[in-house]
Amino acid sequence: MLSIFGLVGGLLLLIVLTIRGMNLFIAAPLCALIVGLTGGLPVFIGEENFVSNYMSGFSGFIASWFFMFLLGSLFGKFMSDTGAADAVASWIIGRLGKKHAVVAVVLACAILTYGGVSVFVVAFSVYPMALSLFKDANLPRRFIPAALAFGSVTFTMTSAGSPEIQNWIPIKYLGTSPFAAWEVSLIVAIIMAALGFLWLNKMIKKAVANGEVFESFAGDPDVPERKLPSPITGIIPLLVVLVISFSFHESLQQLALILALGGGVITLMIINWRYFHNLSNAVNEGTTGALVAIGNTAAVVGFGSVAKATPAFLTAVELTTSIPGNELIGAAVAVSVIAGLTGSASGGQAIALPLIGPHYLDQGVDPEQLHRIVSISSGAIDSLPHNGYVVTTIRAICRETHQRAYGAVGALTVVVPLVGLAIAVALFNIMG
């Protein structure tokens, strides 16, 4: 019982401290220590102790993602420093008008995400253009994280055909394909996209009506007034990243993203070499930004590693994976809760599927329906304030605070996917 209180209390405390802006290098291990101690984990002694569990998750995430964060951050900084991001933003504003600035940001994220680019890297890549678009349209910048997240982790990440890992993990356990239940997936994706667009625009219009405008921050890209490069010089590097990632995703898997981002950075440097404002400064800022972003995320991943080692977590997994009643609802609840506890959509799937997959398949549940429910449900409650992607996007990339930005992010990445999940379950039950 103490372990359960510790797990819930530690998670709630982490969420509160994150929202209040506490440094995650302090908040995450502190909350993890509470979870570990109440769960009976020794701090130093033995193989399964707090320090080893926390550092295993922390260092493991950095080892897996360092080059992607570094190259993604450099790509974003180079887009800003050369003026390529401003050029693309000006072109979009000129063609579509300022009222479509938000649509442009969301679609750019959606295209890259569905092309196989990691959601973390999409945020790095699109942010410079989003900043320019919001500045030109004089829209409140606190909604940039919501626009980036909505285009990346909702109607694209978990949809049929998506090359993102959240759509591929179920294949191993259910024997399905990336296009499992594509008909229902398409309907749900359209509804989620429409609902999210309407809600995001409504929130922004309300903020503008209340007098909110674009605010410049100290540390924003300092690019002097000058002749900008052609917009195509900003679009081509993005296409290079997209094409390479999509072409080599299956054969090279995660290494394809390093190749794609490396290609994008090199292409950007070659095409826009003479437009660099301060290359040395861009490299320094990009490197520092990558370290801060991956460190913040790894700190939260370490919390999840400690949580998974406690008896309370095992109890939560057993309870959620044995929910009686409708099988699809049970699977949705199990994956959602576990993803929320770990702050990871892929983590929720990887823990739940080995347990619920065989259980529900033996009961005759359609594997394609189960695949789609698991995928969609993993991308909802995982986006609580302590989620690694949320923390990285709000704090490290957009340099916003949770208090200003998370309300919109939570509405679009938690509520909208939950609506989509409910619709998917209803449609599958109607179909039988």
pLDDT surpasses 80 at 252? no
> What's the CA gap between 425 and 432, in Å, rounded?
10
Task: Note the pLDDT of residue 172.
Answer: 82
Question: What is each CA distance from 73 to 15, 56, 214, 286, 385, in whole angstroms?
Answer: 26, 24, 23, 5, 22
Say whether pLDDT at 197 is over 90: yes
| Closest of 348, 388, 362, 413 to residue 170, by C-alpha | 348
DSSP reduced 3-state for 178? coil
Instruction: Please tell me which of 85-99, 108-122, 135-149, 216-230 the model is most confident about, judged by mean pLDDT.
Output: 135-149
Can you give the pLDDT at residue 226? 62
Which is more confident, 280 or 256?
Answer: 280
At 181, which helix (H) or strand (E)? none
Q: pTM (2 decimals)?
A: 0.82
Q: What is the pLDDT of residues 343-399, one digit of tens each?
A: 778 777 887 888 788 888 888 889 999 999 999 998 888 888 988 889 889 988 898
Residue 193: strand, helix, or coil: helix
CA angle 236/270/239 to nearest 5° reads 15
Percent of the chain, pLDDT > 70?
A: 96
Q: What is the pLDDT of residue 253?
A: 62
CA-to-CA dists, residue 416 to 102, 194, 393, 407, angstroms: 17, 10, 19, 13
pLDDT band at residue 225 under the 50/70/90 scheme: low
CA distance 40 to 75: 44
* 142: DSSP letter: G
pLDDT in tens, 300-341: 888 888 888 888 888 877 777 777 778 888 888 888 888 888
pLDDT tens digits, 46-58: 677 888 889 988 8
Confidence of residue 236 (pLDDT cuts 50, 70, 90): confident
pLDDT at position 432 is 64
Predicted confidence band of residue 232 (pLDDT cuts 50, 70, 90)? confident
Mean pLDDT, the chain, integer? 85
pLDDT given at position 116: 67
pLDDT in tens, 125-181: 788 888 888 988 899 999 999 999 999 888 888 888 887 778 878 888 898 888 888
Give the residue-averaged pLDDT of 78-107. Answer: 80
Residues above pLDDT 90, as percent of the chain? 22
What is d(CA 218, CA 426) in angstroms, rounded to the nearest whole number? Answer: 49
Q: State residue 247's pLDDT score.
A: 80
What pLDDT is recorded for position 254?
64
Which of 35-39, 45-49, 159-163, 189-193 has the lowest average pLDDT? 45-49
Position 200 confidence tier, pLDDT thresholds 50, 70, 90: very high
